[in-house]
Chain A
Amino acid sequence: MKALKIMVGLGVVAALLPVATDNPTHLNLAILVLMAAQLGVAWNLLGGYAGQVSLGHAAFYGLGAYTSTMLLLNFGINPWLGMLLGGVVAALLSLGFGWSCFRLKGHYFAMATIAVAEIVQIVFTNWDYAGSAVGLTIPMTQRGWGAMVFADKAPYYWLALGLLVLTLLANWAVERSHIGYYLRAIKDEPDAARSIGINIARYKQIALSLSAFFTALGGSLYAQKELYIDPNSVLSTALSIKMALVAILGGVGTLFGPVIGSVVLTTIEELTRSFFGGGGRGTDTIIYAALIIGIAVFYPSGVIGWFREWQQRRKTKQSAPAESKNAPVREASVEEVAP
């Protein structure tokens, strides 16, 4: 209950942020954080809970962005509906993605996902109807909530926040249902999971389809925010890596891990970009790489894992003097005043 209150409180504070600041740079950073967090949370369904590390999720992001944009430009379909259809298209195509990639395990699975995403990127780069390498532009003729196009940043902020909350709720529901237990079982011991009657192919696919659906929603939102998409901005490999990194940095298989990961990573990314300016092109990539190495070596369980370890250590430290009657009184009192 306490955790719920804290979350609702944080949500309210987050929702009021655009009222507190009218600095577009700060608001834009906040939007980027929320959008990256949403992608990390969506990625986490497959990569975190089920332990199937995908480095091809940009394919779903791009499918979402392209579906809603092409439906809008060619058939005048409302972007809200287009966004939903984009999610459905991505979830359907994830069946082929899963069929081809789930034959492989571990690193081989990750490599296959890169290949599939590359194929999608090449198709869109060469597909004239989808704007090929030039990309697609959404006109600003219609504005407002109906058209999901706005002149200022605040509505995009609320949209990104709403989408993040929706994705978190979906993850929470999965985590608490039998699917959540099954995905963790598959991640820990696939053979044992099969021995207790879990059809692991089916549950991996369920995780992938859900993950693809929410990733595509993020892609549609990106298209509506930037009003311009091309294969490089919504289908690039770097984007796939970022989705994975956000979740891994924060803590895989935890509800809020990717949110924390996104705050840290996006802030670093934007700071280095503004700090090094045009002369520092690629600096953010160097920092990505350094982060990956750092996490792999020192904190494989991410920021959340590190925090839990620290809490555990503090707990055992606190309970040790209480359990032992011989513990010096002075030490016990020191522990009590510690935060």
Chain B
Amino acid sequence: MSLLELHGVTKRFGGLTANQDVSFTVDAGQIVGLIGPNGAGKTTAFNCVAGFYAPTSGRIELDGKTISGLTPEACARAGVGRTFQVARTFTSMTACENVMAAALLHERRVGAARAEALKLLAFVNLDHFADKPAGSMTISEQRRLAVARALATVPKLLLMDEVMAGLNPSEVREMVKVVLAIRERGIACLIVEHVLEGIMPIADKIVVLDRGIKIADGTPTEVSRNPAVISAYLGDA
């Protein structure tokens, strides 16, 4: 049994089918990349797993329990952490308070939550910014802050939506380091990513979507040789 299992997930918005019968799995401690051209339905699949959308049909299981159709807050309690394409940090709070707000899910004592938050800020290399207002941080810092915040909910699976988009090469390297360290902690990562040079070298598995349908999954090498993937990205020869 895998940690996360999608069984024939379909999501329709009116007449538009954003995901059609998508099935894949994420094992515990794996880094899985979810890639595909624009409009492939990556973010929709992601939002289904995080509880922001209920699938039209199909089932999503985390650790053997069905989570599809649960609210986002219930999914967070079940062990799904997530980040957003735009970081969505709490801009009126300091970096530390952002992470504390999440740590309070499992630790209601504010002092203990603060201690936990400071540890996680150190983990994403932001400890020297603990008292900095989140609104005044750079994009790269806010992304890492959002990762620390998601980790504070003690997830089994962390969903990251384009955490590397718009970062410069050294910032991408820093983020890659963070993602690898998260796997070291035994937390599985499902990553939606456009920056292929960031995700390909570190992923254990790649799932490729195109126009709502899964067209390939496998190791990064297998996927990059797959003719269907090549034609989806480059067009038919």
Residues of A within 8 A of B (CB): 176-178, 181-182, 184-185, 187-189, 191-200, 253
Tell me which residues across on chain B come within 8 A of A195, comparing CB atoms. Answer: 50, 72, 76, 81-82, 84, 150
Tell me which residues across on chain A come within 8 A of B77, comparing CB atoms. Answer: 197
The answer to whether the Cβ of B221 comes within 8 Å of any Cβ in the partner chain is no
A194 to B101, CA, bound (A): 11
A200 to B72, CA, bound (A): 10
Asked if B93 and A194 sit within 8 Å, CB to CB, the answer is no
Tell me which residues across on chain B come within 8 A of A194, comparing CB atoms. Answer: 52, 71-73, 76
Asked if B101 and A189 sit within 8 Å, CB to CB, the answer is no
Q: Which of B76, B82, B104 contacts A181 (CB 8 A)?
A: B104
Asked if B91 and A188 sit within 8 Å, CB to CB, the answer is yes
Asked if A185 and B150 sit within 8 Å, CB to CB, the answer is no
A198 to B153, CA, bound (A): 11
Tell me which residues across on chain B come within 8 A of A197, comparing CB atoms. Answer: 73, 76-77, 102, 105, 153
Sampled A-B contacts (20; CB under 8 Å) = A177-B110, A178-B104, A178-B113, A181-B100, A184-B97, A188-B92, A189-B90, A191-B52, A192-B90, A192-B149, A194-B71, A194-B72, A194-B76, A195-B82, A195-B84, A195-B150, A196-B76, A196-B149, A196-B153, A197-B102
Chain A residue, CB-CB nearest to B97 = A181
Residues of B within 8 A of A (CB): 50, 52, 71-73, 76-77, 81-82, 84, 88-93, 97, 100-102, 104-105, 108, 110, 113, 146, 149-150, 152-153
Tell me which residues across on chain A come within 8 A of B101, comparing CB atoms. Answer: 181-182, 184-185, 193, 196, 198
Tell me which residues across on chain B come within 8 A of A200, comparing CB atoms. Answer: 73
Tell me which residues across on chain B come within 8 A of A181, comparing CB atoms. Answer: 93, 97, 100-101, 104, 110
Most buried by B among A176, A194, A198: A194
Chain A nearest CB from B210 CB (Å) reads: 27
Asked if B93 and A184 sit within 8 Å, CB to CB, the answer is yes
Asked if B150 and A184 sit within 8 Å, CB to CB, the answer is no
A198 to B103, CA, bound (A): 11
Asked if B88 and A192 sit within 8 Å, CB to CB, the answer is yes
Chain A residue, CB-CB nearest to B90 = A188
- Cross-chain pair count, CB within 8 angstroms: 78
Tell me which residues across on chain A come within 8 A of B149, comparing CB atoms. Answer: 192, 196
Chain B residue, CB-CB nearest to A190 = B88
Asked if A188 and B93 sit within 8 Å, CB to CB, the answer is yes
Tell me which residues across on chain B come within 8 A of A253, comparing CB atoms. Answer: 92
A193 to B84, CA, bound (A): 12
Tell me which residues across on chain A come within 8 A of B153, comparing CB atoms. Answer: 196-197
Tell me which residues across on chain A come within 8 A of B113, comparing CB atoms. Answer: 178
A211 to B152, CA, bound (A): 30
A185 to B134, CA, bound (A): 12
Most buried by A among B90, B101, B152: B101
Asked if B88 and A198 sit within 8 Å, CB to CB, the answer is no
Chain B residue, CB-CB nearest to A180 = B110
A177 to B101, CA, bound (A): 10
Nearest 4 CB-CB pairings of A with B: A197-B76, A196-B102, A194-B72, A188-B90
Chain B residue, CB-CB nearest to A188 = B90
Instruction: With A196-B76, A196-B101, A196-B153 as known contacts, state yes or no: A184 contacts B110, CB within 8 Å.
Output: no
Asked if B92 and A198 sit within 8 Å, CB to CB, the answer is no
Chain B residue, CB-CB nearest to A185 = B101
Chain B residue, CB-CB nearest to A253 = B92
Chain A nearest CB from B160 CB (Å) reads: 12
Tell me which residues across on chain A come within 8 A of B88, comparing CB atoms. Answer: 189, 191-192
New A-B pairs, 16, CB < 8 Å, besides A184-B92, A189-B88, A189-B89? A181-B97, A182-B104, A188-B91, A188-B92, A189-B91, A192-B90, A192-B146, A194-B72, A194-B76, A195-B76, A195-B150, A196-B76, A196-B105, A196-B150, A196-B152, A197-B73
A181 to B102, CA, bound (A): 9
Asked if B73 and A185 sit within 8 Å, CB to CB, the answer is no
Most buried by B among A176, A185, A192: A192
A51 to B43, CA, bound (A): 28
Tell me which residues across on chain B come within 8 A of A191, comparing CB atoms. Answer: 52, 72, 84, 88
Chain A residue, CB-CB nearest to B107 = A178
Chain B residue, CB-CB nearest to A197 = B76
Chain A nearest CB from B192 CB (Å) reads: 15
A192 to B150, CA, bound (A): 9
Tell me which residues across on chain A come within 8 A of B105, comparing CB atoms. Answer: 196-198
Chain A residue, CB-CB nearest to B71 = A194
Tell me which residues across on chain A come within 8 A of B89, comparing CB atoms. Answer: 188-189, 192
Chain B residue, CB-CB nearest to A192 = B88
Chain A residue, CB-CB nearest to B134 = A188
Chain A nearest CB from B157 CB (Å) reads: 13
Tell me which residues across on chain B come within 8 A of A198, comparing CB atoms. Answer: 73, 101, 105
Chain A residue, CB-CB nearest to B87 = A192
Chain B nearest CB from A12 CB (Å) reads: 29
